[in-house]
Amino acid sequence: MTLTDRRLTPVSTTRRDAIDACDDAIELFHGFYGNPIEALERAIALEPDAVLPRVARAGILLTTSEKAHESAAAAEIDAIGARGNERERGHVAACRAWLERDWRRAVRLWGDVLLDYPRDSLALQLAHIGDFYLGQSQMLRDRVARVLPYWRESTPGFNFVLGMHAFGLEECGDYARAEQAGRHALELNARDPWAVHAVAHVMEMQGRLPEGIQWLESRAADWAPDNGFSYHNWWHLALYHLDLGEHAKVLELYDARIRPSGSKVILEMIDATAMLWRLHLRGVDVGNRWGELADAWEPLAADAHYAFNDAHAMMAFVAAGREAAAHTVLAGLRASADHGVGTHAAMAREVGLPVGVALAAFGRGDWDVVIEMLRPVRLVAHRFGGSHAQRDILSLTLIEAALRGGRAKLARALAAERTQVKPSNPFNWRLTARAQSLLGEQTGAKHAQAWSRTLVTAAESRIGGSATLSA
């Protein structure tokens, strides 16, 4: 008799206790709780020939986006060989494609597994992460939508599926349905950090800053303790405070929550870097934090593994004045763009290299080069992954370069984009004020700064007048 997991999906494992241990580990993975890798190792110890825990371990390691984990993942895939049922062999094929740097094919192969086994929540989450890295916003929504008819509220893990769908809906701009799905997921399981995250994204995209702060703080007891994703939800909380101009609070969250221990986990380093760079653009003194973060990035400078990671390494090196390390990253991006193969080569060519060149130019104050690189690339930046909120760092860098470079009309146009999308965000109006003031200086329109300040004051009043609009 063929055994199944808790979602009635077939497994080739012969011991029920090993299946249960693997299910427990996969649930930890879905919720980012505990250590799913160690839990999978316990499942393997119960049945060394079991395929699913090995392929789950390989998939989880690969989707960390860390080159250092590839050898361990490859060892698991090699150990499996040709064993396993059809579902498991589909996972093996996806992992092999990922190891070959063809991330798009890997995600398609996990999608093929889902066509036959739509309650394979492991394949769904691995594909979801892959769609995120590839910037495939539509598939973040639609890949989950494909399997929803096969799930019920009584199916174990249904809340995690809803949370993934909520995030996909948000990235596609369907904010009302995204928030509804995220809140529904949390009614089923209050400790679903991805669903909390999806609703936080909605509030970020809609400029609901005080509400976003209340949303995350009121639920922190559910999503924060012993959670491997908490650093990112803390990052979202800091992002709200940042746009309110509360820089001291941002640095407090950075030190206590976003980067409390000098982590070498790349995903955590990315969020720390992105927050410090936003402060850097605003001219905020962050003390010696850049030096510590650049130290963590330095051993990875030559990896050339994933352009999104490389861009954040460049930010750290530029801000910390590490010219040699920045040169190493750029050389790797150029080599990938010119001679590489697979997904990373395309990402480096289309997005990573021009972004890296722009960041290096920002460091030396060559504003025209920053503008020349970022104006076109920000329109295709989704091709190297990340969310809308994360990729906004490119637009922020572009508008700051326009302001510092005296490109008043461009700066005013870019500020107008932001105020139209998020009219309740006071920082966007602060950018408008700076651009309008610069335009007034260049055209002799003395009323320009006073007019823009009136707009800023109006924006402050919409959020209760609590914003501090420092540059």
Q: Where are the domains of the chain?
A: 1-135, 143-227, 237-405, 412-462
**pLDDT range class, residue 323, cuts 50, 70, 90:** very high
pLDDT, residue 470, reads 38
Give the CA angle between residues 87, 41, 18 to the nearest 5°.
60
pTM of the model: 0.94
Q: What is the CA radius of gyration of the chain?
A: 23
Answer whether residue 260 shows pLDDT above 80.
yes
Indicate the length of the chain as a whole number. Answer: 471
CATH number of 1-135: 1.25.40
**pLDDT range class, residue 467, cuts 50, 70, 90:** very low
Q: Which CATH number fits domain 143-227: 2.60.40, 1.25.40, 3.40.1000, 1.10.3470?
A: 1.25.40
**pLDDT range class, residue 450, cuts 50, 70, 90:** low
**pLDDT range class, residue 462, cuts 50, 70, 90:** low
Instruction: Give buried/exposed letters for 151-178 (b at 16+ CB in 10 A, else e).
Output: beeeeebbbbbbbbbbbbbbbbebbeeb
Residue showing tokens 């929504």: 141
Answer whether residue 332 shows pLDDT above 60.
yes
pLDDT, residue 53, reads 97
Tens of pLDDT along 220-239? Answer: 999 999 999 999 999 999 99
Residue 42 has a CB neighbour count (10 Å cut-off) of: 15
pLDDT, residue 458, reads 58
Q: Which two tokens stand for residue 435?
A: 């651009």
pLDDT, residue 440, reads 87
Task: Work out whether the CA dihedral 403, 405, 411, 412 comes out positive or negative.
Answer: positive
- Please state, in angstroms and rounded to a whole number, the distance separating the CA atoms of residues 265 and 231: 11
Mean pLDDT of 89-100: 97
pLDDT, residue 444, reads 75
pLDDT, residue 468, reads 41
Answer whether residue 447 shows pLDDT above 80.
no
Q: How far is CA 80 from CA 48, 75, 88, 350, in A?
A: 10, 9, 10, 36
Q: Which amino acid is at 416?
A: A
Residues 202, 182 contacting (CB under 8 angstroms): yes
pLDDT, residue 465, reads 43
471 vs 286 pLDDT, higher one: 286
Q: For residue 33, report the phi and psi dihedrals to the nearest 5 degrees.
A: -100, 150
- Please state, in angstroms and rounded to a whole number, the distance separating the CA atoms of residues 129 and 444: 51
Residues 397, 431 contacting (CB under 8 angstroms): no
Mean pLDDT of 375-396: 97
3-4 and 10-11: which strand pairing? antiparallel
Mean pLDDT of 70-90: 96
Tens of pLDDT along 138-167? Answer: 999 999 999 999 999 999 999 999 999 999
Residue 113 has a CB neighbour count (10 Å cut-off) of: 24
Answer whether residue 255 shows pLDDT above 90.
yes
Instruction: Give buried/exposed letters for 384-406 (b at 16+ CB in 10 A, else e).
Output: bbbbbbbbbbbebbbbbbbbbbe
Contacts of 128 (CB under 8 A, 6+ apart): 140, 143, 144, 164, 167, 168
What percent of the chain lies above the pLDDT cut of 90?
A: 91
Answer whether residue 449 shows pLDDT above 80.
no
Pick the closest to residue 110 from 123, 129, 98, 101 (CA basis): 123
**pLDDT range class, residue 44, cuts 50, 70, 90:** very high
| Same fold for the pair 1-135 and 143-227 | yes
Average pLDDT, the chain: 94
Answer whether residue 448 shows pLDDT above 90.
no
pLDDT, residue 2, reads 82
- Please state, in angstroms and rounded to a whole number, the distance separating the CA atoms of residues 245 and 248: 9
- Please state, in angstroms and rounded to a whole number, the distance separating the CA atoms of residues 348 and 342: 10
Answer whether residue 457 shows pLDDT above 90.
no
* Choice among 44-58, 143-157, 244-258, 430-444 with the minimum mean pLDDT: 430-444
Pick the closest to residue 77 from 33, 109, 104, 46 (CA basis): 109
HEC letters along 302-316: CCCCCHHHHHHHHHH
Answer whether residue 113 shows pLDDT above 90.
yes
pLDDT, residue 466, reads 42
Residue showing tokens 């799913």: 36
pLDDT, residue 452, reads 58
Answer whether residue 75 shows pLDDT above 80.
yes
Q: How far is CA 327 from CA 353, 374, 448, 464, in A?
A: 12, 19, 41, 46
- Please state, in angstroms and rounded to a whole number, the distance separating the CA atoms of residues 310 and 113: 31
Answer whether residue 442 shows pLDDT above 50.
yes
